[in-house]
């Protein structure tokens, strides 16, 4: 029993560390990609003064707190966004872990039958599912940050999502190949038609991203994620108009809302669909 508890605590810590570290890497990649700096070669140095950092100074979240938010060498303020992003990575990894790490709590897609496993008996497939979902979240974070900075979604990142999508056909349980294929079209095709009818209604990057995400998540979660993104983006648009920060004709990037919607769809998409179906049934009597 004690061994189980210790292992469980260890796994939770590991999930937190993987989450914060991978989102930290995504933040670095998002910062360096538009500046055409190499990601891996110079990962461990201060982006301001270029001083190489020691291993202990690169621990996500902890080193920020230990250094009180400033680079030890040049005194430059470390980015608050980076800290927030790392915290978000940790929290999302924990949510993924609690949601899909334990067979008893899983419902809908990703469900696996007959497994009684908290970590000790965690099957290889479950571990692969968790890892693949973590990679997906990491890619969404990367696209979100790059789109926020540049208002563009580079094709290169879409191809990475596409690649993860093809892997998902063999790893994610509970979603048929046909559902994955329909997912590739269910949001991207209407988007394409809308772009052709009203140029500038959506970005081409949003459309390509939605196609790749659809191949990954299948159509149910993709539609749910898109609607969530539309809701968040719409609310933000209303806020901008109300506070007169942007005029009616100006654009803001939709990608960050889309990525947030797709991540939320993974975490609670099936609950939302279930609640909607219940409501629908109730209305019909
Ligand atoms: Zn520095």
Taking 70 as the threshold, does the pLDDT of residue 54 lie above it? yes
Summarize pLDDT for 187-245 with one digit per residue, the tens: 999 999 999 999 888 889 999 999 999 999 999 999 999 999 999 999 998 998 888 77
Ion ligand 1 neighbours (CB, 5 A) are: 46, 48-49, 71, 73-74
In a domain, 267, yes or no: yes
CA of 44 to the centre of ligand 1 (A): 11
Same domain as 258, residue 199: yes
Bigger pLDDT: 52 vs 222: 222
Bigger pLDDT: 39 vs 258: 258
Contact call for residues 107 and 92 (beta carbons, < 8 A): no
The domain total for the chain is 2
In a domain, 18, yes or no: yes
Same domain as 235, residue 195: yes
Same domain as 26, residue 90: yes
- Pick the last residue of a domain from 100, 115, 134: 100
CA of 45 to the centre of ligand 1 (A): 8
Half-sphere exposure of 46 (CA within 13 A, CB side): 20
* 155-171 helix and 204-217 helix, angle to the nearest 10 degrees: 10
Same domain as 259, residue 143: yes
Same domain as 93, residue 7: yes
- Structural domain for 28, as ranges: 1-100
Q: Which of 170, 182, 188 is nearest to 219 (CA)?
A: 182
Same domain as 139, residue 90: no
CA of 53 to the centre of ligand 1 (A): 9
Backbone angles phi, psi at 70, to 5 degrees: -130, 150
Same domain as 249, residue 157: yes
Mapped onto helix, strand or coil, the DSSP state of residue 272 is helix
Average pLDDT over residues 16-39: 88
pLDDT of residue 41: 61
CA of 70 to the centre of ligand 1 (A): 8
CA of 52 to the centre of ligand 1 (A): 9
Summarize pLDDT for 86-123 with one digit per residue, the tens: 999 999 999 998 888 765 444 455 554 433 444 545 66
Taking 50 as the threshold, does the pLDDT of residue 84 lie above it? yes
CA of 67 to the centre of ligand 1 (A): 12
Query: What is the pTM for the complete model shown?
Result: 0.88
- CB pairs under 8 A, 24+ apart, for 229-238? 229/254, 229/257, 229/258, 229/259, 229/260, 229/261, 229/262, 230/257, 230/261, 231/261, 232/257, 232/260, 232/261, 233/257, 233/258
Same domain as 164, residue 33: no
d(CA 246, CA 209): 25
CA of 78 to the centre of ligand 1 (A): 8
Backbone angles phi, psi at 219, to 5 degrees: -70, -35
In a domain, 134, yes or no: yes
Backbone angles phi, psi at 229, to 5 degrees: -60, -40
């Amino acid at each position: 029993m004690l061994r189980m508890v210790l292992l469980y605590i260890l796994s939770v810590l590991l999930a937190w560390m993987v989450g914060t570290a991978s989102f930290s890497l995504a933040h670095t990649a998002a910062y360096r990609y538009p500046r055409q700096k190499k990601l891996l070669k110079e990962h461990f140095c201060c982006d301001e003064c270029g001083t190489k950092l020691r291993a202990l100074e690169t621990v996500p979240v902890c080193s920020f707190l230990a250094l009180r938010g400033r680079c030890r060498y040049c005194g430059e303020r470390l980015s608050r966004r980076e800290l927030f992003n790392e915290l978000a990575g940790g929290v999302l990894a924990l949510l993924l872990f609690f949601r899909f790490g334990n067979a008893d709590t899983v419902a809908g897609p990703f469900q696996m039958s007959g497994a009684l496993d908290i970590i000790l008996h965690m099957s290889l497939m479950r571990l692969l599912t968790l890892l693949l979902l973590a990679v997906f979240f990491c890619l969404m974070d990367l696209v979100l940050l790059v789109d926020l900075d540049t208002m563009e979604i580079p094709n290169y990142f879409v191809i990475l999502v596409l690649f993860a999508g093809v892997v998902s056909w063999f790893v994610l349980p509970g979603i048929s190949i046909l559902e994955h294929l329909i997912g590739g079209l269910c949001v991207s095709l209407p988007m394409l038609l809308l772009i052709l009818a009203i140029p500038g209604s959506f970005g081409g990057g949003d459309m390509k991203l939605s196609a790749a995400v659809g191949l990954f998540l299948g159509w149910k979660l993709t539609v749910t994620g898109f609607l969530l993104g539309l809701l968040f983006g719409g609310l933000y648009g209303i806020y901008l108009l109300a506070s007169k920060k942007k005029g009616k004709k100006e654009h803001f990037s939709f990608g960050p809302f889309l990525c947030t919607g797709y991540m939320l769809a993974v975490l609670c998409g099936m609950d939302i669909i279930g609640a909607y179906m219940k409501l629908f049934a109730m209305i019909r009597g």
